[in-house]
């Protein structure tokens, strides 16, 4: 059984990078720099959403299904440097060569990890292999859009049509899963400024479990899981969360209606 790794990232404005780009003097508070960056972006595009290059990664949550285990954890929970967070994520791909699953990972998470990894001199040879080292990767790799080694579930369900994209929160709830809990992506910067890194990580973890549950439902829909196996897999998720510490998992289980 190929290991499955569902992932999601949380980011904040890269105030140091923006300062460098616009040549700000030293000593300007981070909060003011972030507001300048978002104001500049609003004036240019009408939206606060910064370019992918200016998103600093503060957390990567992972849900790994391997062997007979299902577990969830977050890189960055101990306030590690961004380089270490990203390198450890790609080290996991190096170790497991997993089936990667995301929700909008092709449109956001992976491009951000590419740019930030490049800035930090991160190495990820297995991830970037397109058949040069392993001939199987010529026909199924993590990079090519229509290859399945990375499955952007949102993109696939929408038939690669952006106008058909569905928000994770809505689709999860419509399927009987809890959906987003605690906050949303637009609140991460304020939460970090308030010292709430743990809450950010908890929120990110609930996102990857929602995505994992939607992936299981998709695998059932396409015939890769029988009805019996599907229920066995969801039961494994429940059991893992029930044995985990953290109030967010108790809240998640209480909201799980399926």
Of 128-142, 152-166, 177-191, where does mean pLDDT reach its minimum? Answer: 177-191
| Residue from 108, 67, 113, 69 nearest 91 by CA | 113
What is the pLDDT averaged over residues 72-95? 98
* Span 211-237, pLDDT tens digits: 999 999 999 999 999 999 999 999 999
Q: Is residue 193 part of a domain?
A: yes
Task: Return the structure tokens found at 90.
Answer: 């790609």
Of the candidates 173, 214, 187, 254, the residue with the CA atom closest to the CA atom of residue 12: 187
Bridge partner residues of 57 (DSSP): 11
Candidates 216, 222, 185; CA nearest to 200 is 185
The CA distance from 204 to 182, in Å, is: 9
In a domain, 191, yes or no: yes
Is residue 86 a part of any domain in this protein?
Answer: yes
Query: Is residue 35 assigned to a domain?
Result: yes
pLDDT of 77 above 90: yes
pLDDT digits (tens, 9 = 90+) for 102-129: 999 999 999 999 999 999 999 999 999 9
Residue 14 in any domain: the answer is yes
Is 175 inside any structural domain? no
Whether the per-residue pLDDT at 93 is higher than 90: the answer is yes
pLDDT tens digits, one per residue of 7-55: 999 999 999 999 999 999 999 999 999 999 999 999 999 999 999 999 9
Residue 186 has pLDDT above 90, yes or no: no
The upper half-sphere exposure of residue 5, i.e. CA atoms within 13 Å in the direction of its Cβ, equals 23
In a domain, 213, yes or no: no
- Output the pLDDT for position 1: 81
Determine the average pLDDT of the residues in 156-171.
97
Residue 194 lies in a domain: yes
Its pTM stands at 0.96
Structural domain span for residue 60: 4-166+185-201
**Are residues 85 and 60 in contact, defined by beta-carbon separation less than 8 angstroms?**
yes
pLDDT confidence of residue 95: 95
What was the pLDDT predicted at 181?
87
Burial class (CB in 10 A: 0-12, 13-18, 19+), 222: exposed
pLDDT score recorded for residue 6: 98
Q: Rounded to whole angstroms, how far apart are CA atoms 124 and 152?
A: 19
- Res 257 pLDDT > 90: no
> How many separate domains does the chain show?
1
Amino acid 57: pLDDT: 98
SS3 49: coil
């Amino acid at each position: 059984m190929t290991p499955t790794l569902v992932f999601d990232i949380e980011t904040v404005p890269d105030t140091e990078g923006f300062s460098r780009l616009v040549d700000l003097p030293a000593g300007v508070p981070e909060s003011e720099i972030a507001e300048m960056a978002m104001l500049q972006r609003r004036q240019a595009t009408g939206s606060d959403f910064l370019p992918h290059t200016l998103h600093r990664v503060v957390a990567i949550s992972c849900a790994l299904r391997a062997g007979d285990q299902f577990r969830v954890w977050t890189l960055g929970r101990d306030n590690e440097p961004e380089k270490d967070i990203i390198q450890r994520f790609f080290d996991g791909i190096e170790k497991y060569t997993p089936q990667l699953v995301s929700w909008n990972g092709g449109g956001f998470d992976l491009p951000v990890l590419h740019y930030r990894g490049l800035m930090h001199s991160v190495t990820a040879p297995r991830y970037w292999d397109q058949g040069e080292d392993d001939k199987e990767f010529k026909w199924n790799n993590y990079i090519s859009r229509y290859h399945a080694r990375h499955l952007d579930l949102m993109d696939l369900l929408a038939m690669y049509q952006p106008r058909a994209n569905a928000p994770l929160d809505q689709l999860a709830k419509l399927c009987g899963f809890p959906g987003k809990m605690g906050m949303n992506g637009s609140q991460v910067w304020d939460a970090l400024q308030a010292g709430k890194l743990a809450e950010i990580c908890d929120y990110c973890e609930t996102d990857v479990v929602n995505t994992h549950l939607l992936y299981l439902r998709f695998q059932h829909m396409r015939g890769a899981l029988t009805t019996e196996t599907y229920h066995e897999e969801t039961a494994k998720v429940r059991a893992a969360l029930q044995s985990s510490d953290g109030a967010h998992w108790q809240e998640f289980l209480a909201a799980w209606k399926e």
